[in-house]
Every structure is written in C-alpha cells, then in structure tokens.
Homo-oligomer: A and B are copies of this chain.
Amino acid sequence: MESRCENCIIRQFNSLRAMSKEELKQVSDSKITKTVKKGEPLFEEGDKLNGVYCVRNGVSKLSKLSANGKDQIVKLASKGEVLGQRSVISQESTNLSAIAVDDMEVCFIPKESINNTLQKNPNFTLEVLRHMAHDLKEADDVIVNISQKTVKQRMAEAFLYLQNNFGEDSEGFLALTLSREDISNVVGTATESAIRIISEFKKKGLIHTSGKKIGIKDERKLLEMVEGF
C-alpha cells in the first residue's frame, strides 16, 4: 500500500514534478499517507496547517463559511491536486475548509519539506507560482460568473463543469455525485432553488436523474443557456 513519491504517477500532475530526486526522497521519507472517509475534514477554516495534502484518490470540497451560516464551495479538488499550499506559503491559518466528498486517499507532506525546497529550488517555486497564477485566474472567472449570471445559468455551468472535470459513469451519469445541498453551495444559491432548477431542467429534457445521480442529456442547450440564449 505504502509507496515512494519517486514512483508516484500522481506527482506528474502537480508542482511536485519540479522537485529533484533528493528533494523527492526527503518528501517521501517524511510524508504520511492517510485515508479520509466521506464527510470527514482534511482541515478546517482557521486551522494552522503543518503541511500540504496531495490527493491520490477521491474528491475534496474546499469551502468557506459565510456569516449567514451557509458554506460556499470555492473549488472541488481531485487526484493530483495539492491542498493547503497557500496557507503554508503565506504562513497564515487557512481560510478554507477541505472536506471529503468521496472516500479519499491523501499524502500529508510536512511543511518543512515544502519550505525547504521553495527556498532552494527556483524551478519548483516557479512551478508552484504557475499553478497559483492559474488558480487565481479561475477565481476571477468564478467571481464574474457568480455576479453576472443568473442562478439558472450557473446551475447549467456547474453540470458542464462536473462533466468536463470528473467525467461520466457507464450509464451516462456524472461520475461525481454531489448532494443537492453541495450543488447549491457550489452555485451559491438556496438548496430549494437548486432542487427546483434541477426539476425544471429535467422537465425540459436537459438532464436526467436517478436518485441523487444526475446525467446530462442535452449538452448543447445547457451551453446555450450558460451563454445567455
């Protein structure tokens, strides 16, 4: 079960690929592999993180609690993503909670290994920087989407996002199954509104459902809806 980072394929998807052999060895020696059950937190808003989490399997939601008691899901992270980087880099407590949406397998990497490499290996630092630049761009897009699109448009967009990023199962349902509440927290709306729009989309033949599973039926119309037609 336990394995060496040097041989880990996951690494190819994130900034760790810019580490040297020796650095990876150090990471591998200090890392701790953990399993996290669905619904359990990797960390919570306000925690001081002593390291980062590299996702090997499963999906985590990154969310932030707002004053009115609702969570806003800012990002869904899956295989290959590294969580907690920002907190470790800026040496602040984290502003997001990370909760498992699936059963997960993650590697915890102590911050010393990361900070060490950040100071010595410019390639690694630059690689992390590039990733963060990308995340920031995505965040800007989310801001514009949320503020300028209707709930319906954002719902349509969310389904397409789930399809593109997590794919479909053999029966044509979205591979990542979220609760209605989670969906509403991604979109930034009330759970009832999310449910209502799901019903509406179903009636219009845009999606089909089975229990909490949702499948996309008419991708094109969903896309048009996102664009505002």
Contacts and interface: CB of A to CB of B under 8 A. Distances in A.
A32 interface: no
A89 B128 CA distance: 11
A85 to B, nearest CB: 8
A208 interface: no
A54 interface: no
B139 A140 contact: yes
Contact of A134 (B68, B90, B140, B227): B90
Interface residues of chain A: helix, strand, loop or mixed (majority): helix
A118 B122 contact: yes
A117 to B, nearest CB: 10
A84 to B, nearest CB: 11
Interface stretch (A3-11, A142-150, A168-176, A196-204): A142-150
Contact of A129 (B67, B132, B227): B132
- Copies of this chain in its oligomeric complex: 2
A62 B90 CA distance: 23
B119 A188 contact: no
The range of chain A's interface size is 35 or more
Interface string A73-94: 0100000000001100110100
Contacts of A86: 133, 136-137
Contacts of A119: 122-123, 126
A22 to B, nearest CB: 16
Interface in A97-155: 118-123, 125-126, 128-130, 132-137, 139-149
Contacts of A188: 143, 146-148
A211 interface: no
Given A72-B147, A122-B119, A188-B147, A228 B67 contact: yes
Contact of A130 (B72, B90, B144): B90
9 contacts: A64-B144, A66-B149, A68-B148, A74-B144, A86-B137, A95-B141, A96-B140, A136-B139, A148-B188
Interface of A: 64, 66-68, 70, 72, 74, 85-86, 89-90, 92, 95-96, 118-123, 125-126, 128-130, 132-137, 139-149, 188-189, 227-228
